[in-house]
Structure 1
Amino acid sequence: MYNDSIRNLMLPALATLLLMLNESCNIMKQRPKDTFVLVHGGFHGAWCWDKLKPLMEKKGFRVITPDHTGQGKELYHYTDNIGALLEKQERPVMLLGHSSGGMVITELAKKYPGKIKGLIYLSAFLLPEGMSPPEIMRNDTVSLMSSSLITDESNGTISVDKKKAKQLFYADCEDAIAQWAIDRLSPEPVVPMGNKKPGQKNMVSPQPIPRFYIETLNDNALGISSQRHMQTLSSCDKIYTLSSGHSPFLSQPAKLATVLTEISDFINEK
């Protein structure tokens, strides 16, 4: 008799709990996947995401790859163009910057914090206010960047020596993939990436945005010591490690897609 009474009291509570769990599962199933905006680095273009993008889309994510190559690649032009894209998005996005693209997403976070769900630095410059890439890389004995660049003073451009590009950017890529990428590298104007738009003042994001760093252990462009130095200067919510060169979106796209999925899950579970 006593056990029957307890059971009768518990059954409605259990039914309610099961209903709540079912509704939670349905909400999780209905929640749309994140949108990723992938910002390429120097000398590259939207083409560099061609292997990663379909893998992310297969996982259900929406992926946007803005292109900004060649002349006019001053930092403020790039941020203005991507900022206009962010303003069109209905929901905050996951914003990833590769290499010098890290400087771009840092600036975007100051201007469009409400449009950004998370910042992801992929072997990228995560610079404290007032610091420049040369300062960060002063003691980088691994980077081949400075010895791999060619300056064309007559045209005011700088480009990557294509004989050195594989070792610099794609050392761990298959030869055919590396050559495909090398053929697409473009020159850039000799303009400091950190230059400010006339009259523009430094801004600080009014609200914290979750920040993540994906470090690349075998990087010949931005050495791991430089990457970790930046991590000590600017804290991140989580740090992920890939045993790759500077371009894991070409050498290890599936592993990179897995990391990006984990970051999305981490933010959405908070």
Structure 2
Amino acid sequence: MTELLLIHGTCHGAWCFDRLLPELHQRGLSARAIDLPGRDGSPTTLDDYVRAILAAASPDTILVGHSAGGYAMTAAAEAAPDRFRGLIYLCAYLPAAGLSLADMRRAGPSQPLMPAIRLAEDRQSFTIDPALAPAAFYQDCPPDLAAWATAQLCPQPVLPQQTPLWPTKAEPLPRHYIVCENDQTIPPEYQRQMAAHVPQDCRHSLPSGHSPFLAMPARLADLLARLCLGILE
């Protein structure tokens, strides 16, 4: 049975999809989320991410990657493209050949997240300033929900975001991109630039900030259900 596997982004975890998963299940979709390794700040590589995703994947998995999760899921699809039915990028980094996620972040028209990043003394991980997190990640969420989410944030290992990819094997897989038009974390114009690498009819948008799984989970679930149906047809 086809399953959606949700991959979180920077400093997040499976918890961020808590409001989305019930909506997906109500629409008859099998879906779950995983924690990527290194959330305790321990040394972690992009290969560790790949192993975690492959261990969680079933034979017909559709991956949904949010933000930095787009990089992790692409790396997993590169490692074993036959394990996946498709890739859905949710305001996510769609890797460019030879660039790391950090390279792509720097290449964007602006870097809204940078003022909120606090690098650890050993330079192996970073966190997000709690005072700046609501504006950085949860622009259109109610204050109490943004506060709850901010309290869940964890350290982000640096190395996975400094590792370049040369995607080739994943490119034949069906790919969709969802632009979040009010995103203040990854500029929407940069998202549209990345989305240009998928076919026109595979580009979609939501009137959302960076975290539609919290701000509009029902609307996001409707869109994901439609995209899954298209991938499986």
**TM-score for both structures, normalised by structure 1:** 0.78
Structure 2 residue runs of 5 or longer lacking an equivalent are none
Aligned to 2:112: 144
- CA, structure 1 residues 189+95, in 2 after alignment: closer, same or farther (shift >3 Å)? closer
CA deviations on 1:18-73 (whole Å, 9 max, x unpaired) are xxxxxxxxxxxxxx6x3100000110011000000011111111112111223244
**1:233-252 equivalent positions in 2, closer than 5 A:** 234-236=197-199, 238-252=202-216
**1:46-57 equivalent positions in 2, closer than 5 A:** 46-57=14-25
**1:55-134 equivalent positions in 2, closer than 5 A:** 55-68=23-36, 69-70=39-40, 71-86=42-57, 89=58, 91-134=59-102
SS in structure 1 opposite 2:152? Answer: coil
Indicate which of 174, 193, 212 corresponds to 1:229. Answer: 193
Q: State whether residues 116 and 132 of structure 2, in contact with CA within 8 Å, keep that contact through their aligned partners in structure 1.
A: yes
Q: Post-superposition shift, 1:259? A: 0.5
SS in structure 1 opposite 2:161? Answer: coil
Report runs of 4+ in structure 1 exceeding 6 Å deviation.
none
- Aligned partners of 1:135, 1:219: CA distance in 2, in Å? 20
Q: After the TM superposition, which of the residue ranges 203-212 and 219-228 deviates more from structure 2?
A: 203-212
Q: Does 1:258 align with 2:227?
A: no
Q: State whether residues 97 and 167 of structure 2, in contact with CA within 8 Å, keep that contact through their aligned partners in structure 1.
A: no
Amino acid at match of 1:81: A
Amino acid at match of 1:243: P
Q: Post-superposition shift, 1:155? A: 7.2
| Bigger RCO (CA 8 Å, 6+ sep) | 2
- Aligned partners of 1:169, 1:203: CA distance in 2, in Å? 27
Q: Post-superposition shift, 1:191? A: 2.4
CA deviations on 1:210-266 (whole Å, 9 max, x unpaired) are 00001101111101111112123x224511101111100000100100000110121
CA deviations on 1:110-167 (whole Å, 9 max, x unpaired) are 12211111100001000121123454443423x4211111112157431001100000
Amino acid at match of 1:77: D
Q: State whether residues 136 and 230 of structure 1, in contact with CA within 8 Å, keep that contact through their aligned partners in structure 2.
A: no
- Aligned partners of 2:157, 2:232: CA distance in 1, in Å? 40
Q: State whether residues 113 and 207 of structure 1, in contact with CA within 8 Å, keep that contact through their aligned partners in structure 2.
A: no
| Sequence identity (%) | 33
SS in structure 1 opposite 2:77? Answer: helix
- Aligned partners of 1:85, 1:103: CA distance in 2, in Å? 17
- Aligned partners of 1:48, 1:206: CA distance in 2, in Å? 26
Structure (1 or 2) with the larger CA radius of gyration:
1
Q: Post-superposition shift, 1:81? A: 1.4
Q: Post-superposition shift, 1:173? A: 0.2
CA deviations on 1:158-196 (whole Å, 9 max, x unpaired) are 100110000010010011110110000001233252437
- Aligned partners of 1:207, 1:98: CA distance in 2, in Å? 18
- CA, structure 1 residues 173+92, in 2 after alignment: closer, same or farther (shift >3 Å)? same
- CA, structure 1 residues 174+206, in 2 after alignment: closer, same or farther (shift >3 Å)? closer
- CA, structure 1 residues 166+46, in 2 after alignment: closer, same or farther (shift >3 Å)? same
